[in-house]
Amino acid sequence: MTRRPTPLLDRIRDPADLRQFPESDLQRIADELRWDTIESVAETGGHLGASLGVVELTVALHYVFDTPHDRLIWDVSHQSYPHKILTGRRDRMQTLRQGGGLSGFTKRTESPYDPFGAAHSSTSISAGLGMATAFDLSRSSQRAVAVIGDGAMTAGMAYEAMNNAGVSGLPLVVILNDNEMSIAPPVGALSGYLSRLASSRPYSSLRSIAKDVARLFPKPFEEAARRAEELARGIVGHGELFQALGFYYVGPINGHAMADLVPVLQHLKNQDQGGRPVLLHVLTEKGKGYKPAEASADRYHGVSTFDVATGAQAKAKPAAPSYTSVFADTLITLKERDPRIVSITAAMPGGTGLDKVAKRFPERTFDVGIAEQHGVTFAAGLATEGYKPFVAIYSTFLQRAYDQIVHDVAIQKLPVRFALDRAGYVGADGQTHCGAFDIAYLGCLPDFVLCAPSDESELALMVQTMAEIDDRPSAVRFPRGEGLGVALPAPDATLEIGKGRILREGTAVAILAYGSRVADSMKAADMLAERGLSATVVDARFAKPLDGDLLARLAREHPAVITVEEGSTGGFGALVLHRLASDGLLDRGLVIRTMTMPDAFFDQDKPAEQVRLAGLDAKSIMSAALKAVADSPARAIVRG
């Protein structure tokens, strides 16, 4: 691909270089930066739409503020690609979201220009207030600037932080990047003027702002003055909530107009607004400047590699349906039969498959915004009235609602059903999105049913089973990506709760696998057979309740047992060990080994490579089995 020339951007190695340009060059730099972002993401895939929406804002912020001395915090940070290009990482953008390359999010260890790592939403204002407080305690002149999107402002944590910041008396700058509102040209221009006017000096009232605006019009046009006051009231009216929280509100302004952005930011940098934090409301457009992304913001939020000229994304035809789509299809079938089944997501309808469900059952599908805590308790309320809620949230995002799971669901033993997508390693999204801890954080809660499918048929069975559990909470975890291509079960088929299944019989070692590690455990058994050792392979199906009878049989009939899971320590293996110890099955020399994710956070890479590095692939399972057999005091191994 031949890249467009970028003569100005080529002269920028870091923001200090950017600040050497005259303000009149900034729009040209932004134009070059936008196309450099498009061409970079076309080669690697990633979050495109959000990044294109903040190009001008990114240039203006680095031009006005003295980064990295001043701290710039990007909320979620999927919009940080232009920021990365301007801060010394342009020559590494071809490694974005790849093994050994740049993270798709901000990351403290990657650059001094990333003062706070993020990939989950609504953390920026809290972090920025912490930094501003540290600067105040240190008598430092540094400034903290938090950029948060309107979607992230749906989370309660953002308002908790603003409530605290509003009484702090600290000059924190919060920029609300609002990309849900359109910018009509006349209103955009006048609102930009009003914002610059309002930020230039204190005004005692809206009328005083309106009087200055009225001077722009000929005196005979009194109607113009009246309308100017109404417009001023309407614009400033957006900020009533923020002003009630103690913020000095400015905006909204056109986030794609350098003539609006730069002077307002310069004022906010140089003034303390009477000792109050300030919120600048900026209107932007997702996908700005690239027609395919402008036409379909959702499709270009996260993209695979694509052709810049056409926008066509390079997506391989799946060999089997994804786990997410199987979950969605199963839920649709269940809703067709049972009007009490409802579904809930927290601003991820596409990622969880609930967008598909919503098209069929819009009245029973709820998107609560980025508000996982509320979503869980909302589901608990539905459950108290006899409805059957399925809460579809990524494993890593559900961590945000742990107290609600404990206090509102588990203690009351309410039959809320959790569907935990993206369980295990997730590839390019790296450590922040890795579903590592759900087995451990749910497994310790009384009366929870926990299950994990070994293929898409098992997922459908588990979802169908959970729909029938009316006396306690339940959760199913499943991985990102495609299934194995197996046939799906009958729509009325269910599983016996707490019962595993033996897939292969052997005598030398028992491999007890949970969820996504079953397939590699079967491959490991084939490798062991080539070495003359026969292995039993068990699909545990359930981590809670465990199949006590099956565990006792494995312990009696095998000198060694291995548990395998794509989860952290403290999860499935720990539950198995506890049960074996409680039942006295470890008292006679049974060798048992637990295989879990290592005690470390892994960077982005291909999922299969992450599994290999974690020591959870078929070869690693085979090696662990050989060592366990060698360590067993019962060395009379039955071969064949």
Catalytic choice (34, 84, 97, 286): 286
> How far lies 495's CA from each of 50, 498, 519, in Å?
43, 9, 20
Got the DSSP string for 141-207? ---EEEEEETTGGGSHHHHHHHHHHTTT----EEEEEE-SS---HHHHHHHHHHHHHHHHS--S-HH
How far is the C-alpha of 27 from the C-alpha of 314, rounded, in Å? 31
> How buried is residue 205: exposed, middle or buried, by Cβ count under 10 Å (0-12/13-18/19+)?
exposed
The alpha carbon of 177 is separated from its chain's Cα centroid by a whole number of angstroms, namely 18
579 is catalytic: no
Distance CA 235, CA 227 (A): 12
Distance in angstroms (rounded) separating the CA atoms of residues 158 and 122:
5
Type of residue found at 106:
T
What phi-psi label fits residue 459: left (phi over 0), alpha (psi between -120 and 50 degrees) or beta?
alpha
Question: Which H or E run includes 334?
Answer: helix 323-337
Active site residue 286: yes
Catalytic-labelled residue, pool 34, 90, 400, 541 = 400
**Residue 188 in tokens:** 């955009």
Beta bridge mates, 306? 313
372 catalytic per annotation: yes
Catalytic residue among 32, 285, 372, 458: 372
Cα–Cα dist 547/607, whole Å? 30
d(CA 554, CA 592): 11
The residues annotated with a catalytic role in the active site are 286, 372, 400
